[in-house]
Amino acid sequence: MIIEKFFNKWIMFFLILIPTFGVIFDEPYFITLATKVVILGIAGVGLNLALGYCGLISLGHAAFFGIGGYITGILSFHALNDEVLFSWPLVVFGSSEMLIIWPIVILVSALFSFIIGLLSLRTSGVYFIMITLAFAQMLYFFSISWPNYGGEDGLSIYMRNSFPMLNTMDPLSFYIISLFWFLFSIFISLRLINSPFGMSFQAIKQNEERVKSVGIETFKVKLLVFVISGTITGLAGSLYTDLNRFVSPTVLDWHTSGEIMVFVILGGMARLYGPLVGAAFFIALEQTLGSYTENWQFWLGLILILVILYARSGILGLFDKKLRHEK
Amino acid sequence: MTLILFFEQLLNGIQFGTMLFLMSAGLTLIFGVMGLINLAHGSFYMIGAFSAALIAALTESFWLALLASLAGAAIAGVLIEIIIIRRLYRRDHLDQVLATFALILLLSEGVRWCFGAFPLYLNIPNVLNGTVPIFDNIIYSKYRLFIIFMGFLIALGLYILITKTRLGIRIRAGQNDRQMISALGVDISKLYTIVFAIGASLAGLAGAMIGAIQSVEVGMGEPILILAFVVIVIGGIGSIKGALVGSILVGVTDTIGRIFLPELLKVFMEPSNATSVGSSIGSMLIYILMALILIIKPSGLFGKS
């Protein structure tokens, strides 16, 4: 693990280097790409808690990513049009203040992950995979058929939501906001993993029956992990809407769930910075292959299959000689 | 009037259900025998439809096209099983999900590469064009009746295959105890390839038959794949009987719900609101059904708990 720590320092270095490079050479596109990587990284960090550390194979995290995205879009849409969001039982207006939007996103994604978790965690194994997938699809179809917020065409918000004292339309400012949330999600994960609660959910991944036998209510532990995981991913969705100034049913599509899972696996499961490395690799692949061929996803699929069949510990795993030695 | 509409939609639901059955039977068989979650099952649906469209364009025969869909999907299934899928049986569910997800990207883009992004069309043969009267005043599309007929024929065929033939005995034995039947001298890897090919060809046939009503395009397998997942979760994973019951249930609920929920809501609401709320809830109905069934029976209707 020493090598992984060394590698993590390099990752931090790159997180600062790339935007600096962007500013010096006046390439805002680099900063925007880096922002995208960081935001997708947050979504991955969220899923990693459930998938990597607790072994809950959720193929439905697009639901939370999309909920965060749509809440942000809807609030901002109402603020822009000066309409009431709903008038019963309280009169509630939309908002374009990130500081107001974030708590709402956190609350709503936590609520949804609680409900979905409560129902899905009754099952395990393949059933769990398919049920999380099905719940995400349910929201996907809802977003398509509900006409008020653009339906299939999606919802544009024209301006990024605002943050006190920062111009969020400036790529660097928005990058800093996203980077803050990324570091915060890493911090939360780190604290969780090393807490007694973290020990219990990591133990569940190894052997749930044994954890039960020492008197821990594993259902509650799993539900809590699932809620935290979904909430972090929801927050990433909120930032993603701001990044694109647009939200559409695509964020709820099951390909999004698959991609978030791919970030986690490409980077290396149960490694703090794994999802960021995975997302960076994914975006880099999209940018380089995408410029040569329209069918870049063909090559992505091929690379993924090779990674899964032959390099199971992910990119960070390749650098971790100790681990490779053990296998 | 509404009764006629209801009956018509009921038949549409059953028709949709029988096609879902072709998808979910293969999916559940593959899971039951090999323990594999195959997200790429929808790709065989697509491959079947494209093989049919290709042969139909060359020979102008719908029946040859249907055969081609079976053969094309089966050949693709055998190749993919031998090259990739075979390595996944011993892996955990996560690896299977990811590898088959990657396979979807690979196959979808591969087909787009070969056939282009534009949808292709398959023509229904003249014999099956038009409508046919059922009972007094209900007329129904011949082709959709043909689909229902084929669906039940294949369900019957599968039943005979599984319960009456030597291959079926081996498949059932494989479901019960993999190690034991390989110890008894059954070539297990050949059996797996055969089961995978059967599943793939059923999906391919469904793709060709639906392709003739809708269109043949890249990504056509994905919506129906996820519905097939809902079906096997409802029916119980590994159970073909469960897949049949689940398919019809999902097909009918989905079709009837989408049509009648807005109508039903008009009793309580303004018509414009009723239409949007009704169609939104209608599209979620099967997922709600699934959630309800899982609350009552977490392992599905016919699943082993």
pLDDT value, residue B275 = 79
Residue A128, CB-side half-sphere exposure with 13 Å CA sphere: 19
Residues of A (35-54) whose Cβ lies below 8 Å from B = 51
How far does the CA of residue B298 sit from the closest CA of chain A (Å)? 6
Judge: A301–B288 Cβ closer than 8 Å, yes or no. Answer: no
Residue range A2-326, CATH number: 1.10.3470
Mean pLDDT value of segment A156-173: 86
The answer to whether the CB atoms of A138 and B288 lie below 8 A apart is yes
Q: Would you list which residues of chain B are within 8 Å, Cβ to Cβ, of chain A?
A: 31, 37, 84, 87, 93-95, 97-99, 101-110, 112-113, 222, 226, 229-230, 232-233, 237, 276, 279-280, 282-284, 287-288, 290-291, 294-295, 298-300
Distance CA B17, CA B11 (A): 9
Closest-CA residue of B relative to A264 is B98
**For residue A148, what is the nearest residue in chain B, using CA coordinates?**
B276
At position A185, the amino acid (one-letter code) is S
- Give strand pairing partners of A302: none
The C-alpha atoms of residue A241 and residue A73 are separated, in whole angstroms, by: 7
- Domain of B80? 2-296
pTM score, whole prediction: 0.88
Chain B nearest CA to A131, separation (Å): 8
CB contact under 8 A, B233 and A127: yes
C-beta of residue B168 within 8 angstroms of C-beta of residue B162: yes
Distance CA B154, CA B165 (A): 15
Strands A155-156, B131-134: pairing is unpaired
Of A80-89, A105-114, A266-275, the one with minimum mean pLDDT is A80-89
Number of A/B CB contacts below 8 angstroms equals 120
- What pLDDT does residue A46 have? 95
Task: Please tell me the predicted confidence (pLDDT) of residue A319.
Answer: 67
Query: Cα Rg for chain A, rounded, in angstroms?
Result: 20
Tell me the per-residue pLDDT of B115-132, one tens digit each, with 9 for 90 and over. Answer: 888 888 888 888 888 888
**Distances, alpha carbon B147 to alpha carbons A38, B11, B14, B23, B210, in Å:** 49, 11, 10, 14, 9
Decide if B287 and A122 are in contact by the 8 Å CB cutoff.
no
Cβ contact A130–B110 (<8 Å): no
Nearest CA in chain A to B104: A301
Burial A246-284 (b: 16+ CB within 10 A, else e): bbbbbbbbbbbbbbbbbbbbbbbbbbbbbbbbbbbbbbe
Decide if B302 is inside a domain: no
pLDDT tops 70 at residue A31: yes
Q: Give the model's confidence band at A2: pLDDT under 50 very low, under 70 low, under 90 confident, else very high.
A: low
Domain ranges (residues) in chain A: 2-326
What pLDDT, on a 0 to 100 scale, did the predictor assign at position A324? 46
Q: Which residues contact B28 (CB under 8 A, 6 or more apart)?
A: B232, B235, B237, B238, B239, B240, B242, B243
Q: Does A311 touch chain B (CB under 8 A)?
A: no
- Determine the pLDDT at residue A327: 38
Residue A27 is predicted with a pLDDT of 80
B97–A57 CB contact, under 8 Å:
yes
Helices B221-235 & B2-34 angle (0-180, nearest 10) = 80
Write a three-state SS string for chain B. CHHHHHHHHHHHHHHHHHHHHHHHHHHHHHHHHHCCCCCCHHHHHHHHHHHHHHHHHHHCCHHHHHHHHHHHHHHHHHHHHHHCHHHHCCCCHHHHHHHHHHHHHHHHHHHHHHHCCCCECCCCCHHHCCEEEECCCEEEEHHHHHHHHHHHHHHHHHHHHHHHCHHHHHHHHHHHCHHHHHHCCCCHHHHHHHHHHHHHHHHHHHHHHHHCCCCECCCCHHHHHHHHHHHHHHHCCCCHHHHHHHHHHHHHHHHHHHHHHHHHHCCCCCHHHHHHHHHHHHHHHHHHHHHHHHHHCCCCCCCCC
Please tell me which residue, A16 or B217, carries the higher pLDDT value. Answer: B217
More confident residue, B158 or A1: B158
Distance from CA of B187 to the nearest CA of A (A): 24
pLDDT at position B235 over 80: yes
pLDDT at A87: 66
Chain-chain contact of A130 with B233 (C-beta, under 8 angstroms): yes
Q: How many CB atoms lie within 10 A of CB A93?
A: 14
Length of chain B: 305
Q: Tell me how far CA of residue B280 lies from CA of A145, A248, A303, B48, B231, in angstroms.
A: 5, 16, 38, 31, 20
What value does the mean pLDDT take over residues B257-275? 80
Domain count, chain B: 1
Q: What pLDDT was estimated at residue A6?
A: 73
- The CA distance from B49 to B41, in Å, is 13
Whose tokens are 């979904």? That residue is A230
For residues A269 and B223, the model is more confident at B223
Which comes out higher in pLDDT, residue A295 or A189? A189
State the smallest CA–CA distance between residue B66 and chain A in angstroms: 28
Distance in Å, alpha carbon of B284 to nearest chain A alpha carbon: 5
β-pair partners for B204: none
Once rounded to an integer, what is the mean pLDDT over residues A255-278? Answer: 88
CA distance linking residue A93 with residue B270, whole number of Å: 25
B252 occurs within a structural domain: yes
Mean of pLDDT values over A231-253 = 94
Cβ A71 vs Cβ A257: under 8 Å: no
Rg from Cα positions in chain B: 20
Q: Is A206 on the interface with B (CB under 8 A)?
A: no
Best probe of the B interface among A130, A132, A302, by most B CBs < 10 A, is A130
Residue B279 reports pLDDT greater than 90: no
Considering only the beta carbons, identify the residue of B108, B280, B300 that sits closest to A142: B280
Q: What local confidence, expressed as pLDDT, does residue A258 receive?
A: 92
Q: How many CB atoms lie within 10 A of CB B146?
A: 18
Average pLDDT over residues B96-109: 93
Instruction: Give the confidence band of A320 by pLDDT, cuts at 50, 70, 90.
Output: low
Residue B102 has pLDDT above 60, yes or no: yes
Distance from CA of B293 to the nearest CA of A (A): 11
Share of chain A above pLDDT 90, in %: 45
CATH of the domain at B223: 1.10.3470
Q: Is the CB of A123 inside 8 Å of chain B's CB atoms?
A: yes
Q: In this complex, do B84 and A309 lie within 8 Å of one another by their Cβ atoms?
A: yes
In chain A, positions 234-293, which contact chain B (CB-CB < 8 Å)?
254, 258, 261-262, 265
Give the number of other CB atoms < 10 A from CB of residue A243.
20
CB-CB: which of A126, A148, A265 is closest to B98? A265
Subunit contact B98:A261, Cβ cutoff 8 A: yes
Instruction: Quickly state the pLDDT bin for B1 (edges 50, 70, 90).
Output: low
Percentage of chain B modeled with pLDDT above 70:
99
Residue B273 lies in a domain: yes
Contact A134 B94 (CB under 8 A): no
**Closest-CA residue in chain B for A142?**
B280
Interface probe for A, chosen from B83, B101, B218, B273 (most Cβ of A below 10 Å), is: B101
Which of A41-50, A155-164, A318-327, B291-300 shows the lowest mean pLDDT across its residues? A318-327
Smallest CA-to-CA distance from A182 within A48, A314, A51 is with A48
C-beta of residue B227 within 8 angstroms of C-beta of residue B286: yes
pLDDT tens per residue across span B44-97 = 999 999 999 999 989 888 999 999 999 999 999 999 999 999 999 888 888 899
Q: What is the pLDDT of residue B271?
A: 77
Torsion of CA B281, B287, B291, B297, to 10 degrees: 130
Residue A246's pLDDT band (boundaries 50, 70, 90)? very high
Flag whether B301 is in a domain.
Answer: no
Average pLDDT for chain B: 88
**Residue A84, min C-alpha distance to chain B (Å):** 18
For residues B21 and A272, which has the higher predicted lDDT (pLDDT)? B21
Report yes or no on B303 lying in a domain: no
Subunit contact A131:B276, Cβ cutoff 8 A = no
Neighbours of A214 (CB within 10 A): 8
